[in-house]
Structure 1
Amino acid sequence: MALITTTLPREFILDGRKLADPNPAMSVDEVRTHYTGIYPALNNSSYEEQLTERARTITFTTSIGHKG
């Protein structure tokens, strides 16, 4: 019996907005860097991953702080 492996698609979420996966071979940090030009808030963001039966969902959380 052969094992069959499948790769779940990734879903990227930022402020409730779904972002396309630019390249499945990119790491999450590379995807974040890719989108930084369009969404500058990603520079200081963190992310959480959630695994479901249909997808691997990565949600970016921006942290806006104040100086001083």
Structure 2
Amino acid sequence: MALEVKALPREFVARQGKGNERVLTDPGTGMSPEEVRAHYAQVYPELASAGVEGPEVKDGKQVYVFTGSVGVKG
């Protein structure tokens, strides 16, 4: 019996503050999570300085979370 290996699909979540989340589709499996963040920062500028957490496996998906801004405001 041959063993079949499948990569888990990825999901990206932009989290800005408590209760404010946006699920983003994976624009390409060849992109690193940092490249995905840069891709979406063109539409959501707040992601340009966001941190990347994960992956955490949830519901059969690799979930990466873009969290807040890195640094101090003001």
Which TM-score band (shorter chain)?
0.7 to 0.9
Show the counterpart of 1:3: 3
- Unaligned stretches of 5+ residues in structure 1: none
What is the TM-score with the length of structure 1 in the denominator?
Answer: 0.85
Matches within 5 A, 1:47-58: 47-49=52-54, 50-58=56-64
What does the per-residue CA deviation read over 1:25-60, in whole Å, with 9 as the maximum and x for residues that have no partner?
111011011111111111111111112351000010
Secondary structure of the residue aligned to 1:6 is: coil
Aligned length: 67
What is the TM-score with the length of structure 2 in the denominator?
Answer: 0.79
Greater share of residues in strand: 2
Secondary structure of the residue aligned to 1:62 is: strand
List, as ranges, runs of 4+ consecutive aligned residues in structure 1 with deviation greater than 4 Å: none
Show the counterpart of 1:14: 14
- Unaligned stretches of 5+ residues in structure 2: 16-20
- Within the alignment, does 1:42 sit opposite 2:30 as a pair? no
